[in-house]
């Protein structure tokens, strides 16, 4: 069966191909980040028609993605690294132009927290990525699914399956009806829950505000947050919705004493900055019923659903 594309475009061929001797991250534009500090990938190489090794480096400390006591990498770091791998490969191996918008559709991630320990130097994970189901529009790739096995050394510490699409700036603007980061008003930030209630050390990282009904919280959308809003956006980013689902686990009495270990998420539509977003615990998740199912709603519409599997702390 012929390959669906060349093994590498010039962009992919220009990236570092071995972990040894890496001295810099990949260009931040390729992973849709403005800050080099939030860019975790360091290189990539094609290993087959639609398979790749993607190299990364994880910091030993981070306000969100490393535990407050600096002992463990959070599953959210795995999720962000996997997301960055998808955008990198879209631009470098599938000829998606810079400036196109990357849209997450589905996200399934399973981690092994007991193996995500912070060591005496930054971890250097290897992502073994296989791309499947490439969809095309007008002869150009318009989306794909990919699977990733995240390795530390020779040990698998996480697996992921992702579905994503992308669209040009012109089409995106038509879809968004002219909404932009500079024109969409942002709701006032409501007071958050106590940081310890949601497993955070800083009040600035609390993304849930109390609501009148049990099992329901308002999403706090701080567009000045340096991680969630690394650059201006006209909608609520997916990583913020995922963090909110994790904080629901910590805030809900049913989740006390447990930590997130897996996510199974569907992004239905954009969550708007000028509408209240309500995070609702809608049931249990996981084969043993030991997880939490979370829904994000705006008005009468579901914008996001996530089953968060949990394990003992």
pLDDT tens for residues 154-168? 999 999 999 999 999
Q: For 25-59, b where at least 16 C-beta lie within 10 A, e where not — what string?
A: bbbbebbbbeeeebbbbbbbbbeeebebbbbbbbb
Query: Which domains, and CATH codes, for the chain?
Result: 10-174 (3.10.129.10), 180-312 (3.10.129.10)
| C-alpha–C-alpha distance, residues 183 and 173, integer Å | 13
**Once rounded to an integer, what is the mean pLDDT over residues 250-265?**
84
The model's confidence at residue 252, banded by pLDDT at 50, 70 and 90, is confident
The packing angle between helices 238-251 and 75-93, to 10°, is 170
Supply the mean pLDDT for the chain: 90
Find the mean pLDDT for residues 97-112. Answer: 94
**What percent of the chain is modeled with pLDDT above 90?**
77
- What pLDDT is stored for residue 4 in this prediction? 38
pLDDT at 122: 94
Model pLDDT, residue 255: 62
pLDDT digits (tens, 9 = 90+) for 179-219: 899 999 999 999 999 999 998 999 999 999 998 888 999 99
Distance between CA atoms of residues 200 and 67, nearest Å: 8
pLDDT reported for residue 19: 63
CB atoms under 10 Å from CB of 129, counted, come to 26
Q: What is the pLDDT of residues 113-129, one digit of tens each?
A: 999 999 999 999 999 99
Angstrom distance (rounded) from CA 275 to CA 202: 25
> Average pLDDT of 255-284?
91
Taking residue 180's Cβ as centre, other Cβ atoms within 10 Å add up to 11
Contacts of 233 (CB under 8 A, 6+ apart): 181, 223, 273
Over residues 284-308, the mean pLDDT reads 88
The model's pLDDT over 127-158, given as tens digits with 9 standing for 90+, comes to: 999 999 899 888 788 999 999 999 999 999 99
DSSP character at residue 231: S
- What is the per-residue pLDDT across 51-91, written as a single tens digit (0 to 9) for each? 999 999 999 999 999 998 999 999 999 999 999 999 999 99
């Amino acid at each position: 069966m012929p390959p669906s594309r060349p093994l590498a475009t010039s962009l992919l061929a220009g990236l570092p191909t071995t972990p040894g001797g890496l001295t810099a991250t990949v260009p931040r534009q390729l992973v849709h980040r403005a800050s080099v500090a939030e860019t975790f990938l360091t290189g990539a190489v094609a290993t087959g028609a639609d398979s790749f090794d993607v190299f990364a480096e994880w910091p030993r400390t981070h306000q969100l993605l490393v535990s407050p006591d600096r002992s463990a990498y959070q599953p959210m770091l795995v999720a962000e690294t996997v997301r960055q791998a998808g955008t990198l490969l879209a631009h470098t191996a599938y000829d998606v132009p810079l400036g196109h918008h990357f849209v997450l559709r589905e996200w399934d991630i399973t981690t092994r927290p007991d193996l995500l320990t912070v060591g005496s130097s930054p971890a250097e994970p290897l992502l073994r990525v296989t791309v499947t189901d490439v969809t095309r529009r007008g002869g150009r790739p318009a989306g794909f699914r990919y699977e990733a096995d995240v390795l530390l050394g020779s040990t698998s510490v996480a697996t992921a399956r992702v579905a994503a699409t992308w669209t040009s700036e012109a089409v995106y603007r038509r879809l968004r009806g002219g909404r932009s980061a500079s024109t969409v008003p942002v709701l006032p930030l409501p007071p958050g829950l106590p940081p310890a209630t949601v497993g955070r050390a800083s009040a600035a990282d609390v993304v849930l505000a109390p609501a009148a009904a049990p099992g329901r919280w308002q999403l706090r959308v701080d567009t000045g947050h340096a991680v969630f809003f690394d650059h201006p956006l006209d909608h609520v980013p997916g990583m913020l919705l995922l963090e909110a689902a994790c904080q629901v686990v910590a805030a809900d009495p049913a989740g006390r004493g447990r930590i997130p270990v897996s996510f199974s998420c569907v992004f239905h539509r954009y969550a708007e900055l000028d509408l209240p977003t309500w995070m609702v615990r809608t049931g249990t998740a996981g084969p043993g019923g030991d997880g939490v199912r979370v829904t994000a709603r705006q008005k009468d519409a579901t914008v996001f659903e996530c089953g968060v599997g949990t394990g003992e702390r």
